[in-house]
Amino acid sequence: MNSILDKLTIYDYCIVVVYLVALLTIGLLSSRKKVEGAEHFLASKSLSWYSIGFNMWATNVGPSMLLAFATVGYTTGIVAVNFDWYAFIYLFLLAVVFAPRYISTGVRTLPEFMGKRFGSNTQTILAWYSLVKMLISWLSLGLFAGGFLVRQILGIPMWQSVTVLVSLAGLFAYTGGLKTVAKINIFQMILLIAVSAFLTFLGLSKIGGISSLIQQTPANYWSLIRPASDPDYPWYAIALGYPVAAIAFFCTDQAMVQSVLGAKNLEQGQLGINFIAWLKILSLPLFILTGIICSVLFPGLNDPSLAYMTMVTNLFPTGLNGLVIVVLIAVLVGTIGSSLNSLSTVFTMDIYLKHIRPDATNKQITQVGRYTVIIGCLASVFVALAIDQIKGLNLFDVFQSILGFIAPPLAVAFLMAVLWKRTNRAAINTILTFGAVMSLGTGVCYLWIFPKDIYSFWPHYLMLSFSLFMLLLIIGIGLAYWVPKSGYEMEHKDMYNITVEKPSGRVKTAWAMLFVVMLLLYIYFK
């Protein structure tokens, strides 16, 4: 593969400069009105459905999406789109079950929601676990993928790549909070859709159209459901293991839910969640199809993770390669910016205000949030370098397995708290402490100490995640029956019986349409 750096012209550099100026202008204009305190983190409860949808998608679609989906498309076809299309069920769960309860209680963070139900100890435990989760699954994974791409483009060491990238992304989270990040992300995602669609168009044009692509690829490349004997993505592993990560990822993760908490009202939040579910349909034509096209145009790559950049380097006309660098910056700023804002929100609201300085002024709250952004940037660099040492898995599976090992305690704790009245503090705290140690410890063993490429006794990572989920669920149910509720829970038992607003007609219609479309897609690609 020829280096894209060798093909850059004055036009490419101009594109990058114009983009950076536009990005900085949008950020500065959106942050002119200084907002201090909690409103700095939740955009003054001003987000509309389209802003929520784009911001959630921008948080979700990091550099890992461009890189990992193209990689898995190159090697296995469309099966990995399950990790985006199957998500509509769990986004619906967020919209109709979790979000109404989050918004009706007026919380700013998800640890605060659990704290109102079970007490301050639970809030603190969840806050620390949420910080660890965001640092690893959002900041470091996104930063690693961005650094991986920059390393491919410029040939510089990983530590230099991630340091430069996180500095740029941190700038917006530091200055403007969620409102600035959200406005930038609308601009980012429109640009991402345009550039990715153009790359797909160039590839299909070179092959001779979609029918020619289908004829030149294996038949199983176009199947969403693989047999149980499939070594990479058997149907049962996706059906059982993916929901664990999806519930934790979409329903309990501060970085994803924060945009919904910043909604003008519940209806706008529910419509925004519906919008990201529609946007996720685009993963197939914009990201995975790129890898499939590359497998036809450039077969036999020594490293499938080069699929995306191989397409870019060989198909984009001279003078437009700067667009690729722009997209890289766009998706990185979107993911890392949103994640840093969520990280600072949880630390400031759930730890600083709760335990360190309850009487802090709005100015102090905002300043602590900004210091947290800086620390988050530094910590994420070191974790990204550790992720770079994982061997034996392709990039897509690295990302999904890490999420799968972080998810079980969160999925079990929130499902029990929201859906079961008998759930108590002892069950939740045990799941979030013992469960966290067990899940993260298993992940460390699987990824670093006894890597799968050397030790073949491991089951599929999705089944490991499901097994951890079931074990923690059994422990939680047992403790809920065995240990009586605390005095705090008895005094605040009304926190379970929250009166929630019913979905409006617009919300019902939007979700009904989505369910029909997703059913048709699964029937067509079964």
Q: Where are the domains of the chain?
A: 4-27+48-525
Contact 362, 379 (CB under 8 A): no
pLDDT of residue 444: 95
Taking only the tens place, the pLDDT of each residue in 422-437 is 999 999 999 999 999 9
> pLDDT band for position 33 (50/70/90)?
low
Q: Give the per-residue pLDDT at 41.
A: 42
Three-class secondary structure of residue 303 per DSSP? coil
What's the whole-number average pLDDT of the chain?
Answer: 86
**Which tokens is 65 given?**
């999406």
- CA 124 – CA 135 distance, rounded (Å): 17
Q: What is the pLDDT of residues 88-140, one digit of tens each?
A: 999 999 999 999 999 998 888 899 999 999 999 999 999 999 999 988 887 78
pLDDT digits (tens, 9 = 90+) for 146-178: 777 777 777 777 777 777 777 766 665 555 444
**Residues in contact with 361: Cβ distance below 8 Å, sequence separation at least 6, in sequence order:** none
What local confidence, expressed as pLDDT, does residue 417 receive? Answer: 95
Rounded to 5°, the CA angle 263-264-270 comes to 55
**How far from chain centre, in Å, is Cα 392?**
23
Q: Which two tokens stand for residue 344?
A: 């600072």
Residue 32 has pLDDT above 60, yes or no: no
Q: What are the pLDDT digits (tens) for 445-495?
A: 999 999 988 898 999 999 999 999 999 999 999 999 999 999 999 988 888
Task: Please report the pLDDT score of residue 37 as a whole number.
Answer: 44
Instruction: Report the pLDDT value the prediction gives residue 317, as an integer from 0 to 100.
Output: 81
Supply the pLDDT for residue 42.
45
Is 80 exceeded by the pLDDT of residue 201?
Answer: yes
Model confidence at 10, in pLDDT bands (50, 70, 90)? confident
Given pLDDT bands bounded at 50, 70 and 90, which one contains residue 203? very high
515 Cβ contact list (under 8 Å, min separation 6) = 88, 92
* Beta carbons within 8 Å of 323's beta carbon, 6+ residues apart: 15, 195, 198, 316
In the block, tokens 């769960």 appear at 93
Q: What is the pLDDT of residues 213-235, one digit of tens each?
A: 999 999 999 999 999 999 899 99
Retrieve residue 108's tokens: 């700013």
The predicted-structure confidence for 321-346, as pLDDT tens digits, reads as follows 777 777 766 666 666 766 777 788 88
Kindly report, residue by residue over 241-269, the tens digit of the pLDDT: 999 999 999 999 887 898 898 889 999 99
Largest pairwise CA distance in the chain: 70
> For 367-407, what is each residue's pLDDT tens digit?
888 888 888 888 888 888 888 888 778 878 988 999 999 99
For domain 4-27+48-525, give the CATH superfamily: Sodium/glucose cotransporter (1.20.1730.10)
Report the alpha-carbon distance of residue 260 to residue 268 in Å, rounded.
8
